[in-house]
Amino acid sequence: MNPDRPPLLCDKHYDAPSRFQVENLLREARRQRHLPDVAVPEVCLLDPDGDVVHHLRATGHAARHSAWACYHSELWVTDRPHGQLGIVPCAVGAPYAVLVAEELHASGCRLVVSITSAGRIVEIADPPYFVLIERAWRDEGTSLHYLPPSEWSHLRPELASLLDGAFDELDEPVVNGASWTTDAPLRETETAIAAAEAASIHAVEMEAAALYAYAAARHRDVVCIAHVTNTMATSGDDFEKGHDDGTHRILAVVDAIAQRWFSQN
């Protein structure tokens, strides 16, 4: 123990296995809830705002996955050109997003896509638009349980290469860039924003750095997209995603990712 350092930075032992295993958590949830062991779709979307699931349910295009064994979330399934897509709504924040990603991968998912509403830092265009997060600033705690301290978490280079040009035909622009992952969205001070601007960061969100650290440590496929929808409510009509809360554009991004990923898997 070091009284001058917080526990977050001590005694991590990154190569050591966890006593608490996700497979055992799911096993006990199935036992308690009398659920069968049924695989989830190979591609699953984390929908932190819940807007995609809300729209699909309202229009009769999503069904609940009745065997999903997570204690803390629901999994919905919809049909897409590549096959079924699983969607977990409201998986917001780094700890929760990584918990759900661990459970999805342990349940048969092979690719997790996170598309999260984000605030604009370096101006590219007027919101809304998408940023494919190639690197994420680790201003949160979850990633430090998966990888040693460093400034950035990264999209796997193989996935970055695979997605080159994948979004060129979409209606809403997708640019490659960097994000700032924070645990405390209501502490986005002017000083912190200035530091993010100096680091050439395009958007601020709450999950990507942790998801990429988890993906690297556990050898999983994860792609994080920031849907830049606001300027932190400082002016104008913020948080607008467009028609149907951006559902069709978000799903078009997922389809483009899935198409490329299935072509190589």
- Domain range holding 47? 41-263
Phi-psi region of 185 (alpha: psi -120 to 50; beta: other; left: phi over 0): alpha
CA 265 to chain centre: 21
pLDDT at 1: 60
Residue 177 phi/psi, 5° resolution? -170, -165
pLDDT at 198: 95
Task: List b or e across 207-238, with b for residues whose CB sees 16 or more CB atoms inside 10 angstroms.
Answer: bbbbbbbbbbeeebbbbbbbbbbbbeeeeeee
Taking Cα atoms as reference points, which of 181, 48, 21 lies closest to residue 105? 21
Give pLDDT tens digits along the chain (265 positions). Answer: 667 788 888 888 999 999 999 999 999 999 999 999 999 999 999 999 999 999 999 999 999 999 999 999 999 999 999 999 999 999 999 999 999 999 999 999 999 999 999 999 998 888 889 999 999 999 999 999 999 999 999 999 999 999 999 999 998 889 999 999 999 988 989 999 999 999 999 999 999 999 999 999 999 999 999 999 888 777 667 777 777 778 999 999 999 999 999 999 8
CATH number at residue 103: 3.40.50.1580
Does residue 80 lie within any of the structural domains? Answer: yes
Does residue 186 lie within any of the structural domains? Answer: yes
pLDDT at 2: 67
What is the rounded distance in angstroms from the CA atom of residue 227 to the CA atom of residue 89? Answer: 15
Does residue 83 lie within any of the structural domains? Answer: yes
Does residue 198 lie within any of the structural domains? Answer: yes
Does residue 111 lie within any of the structural domains? Answer: yes
Does residue 242 lie within any of the structural domains? Answer: yes
Does residue 92 lie within any of the structural domains? Answer: yes
Domains identified in the chain, total number: 1
Output the pTM of the full model: 0.95
What is the rounded distance in angstroms from the CA atom of residue 101 to the CA atom of residue 109? Answer: 9
Does residue 183 lie within any of the structural domains? Answer: yes
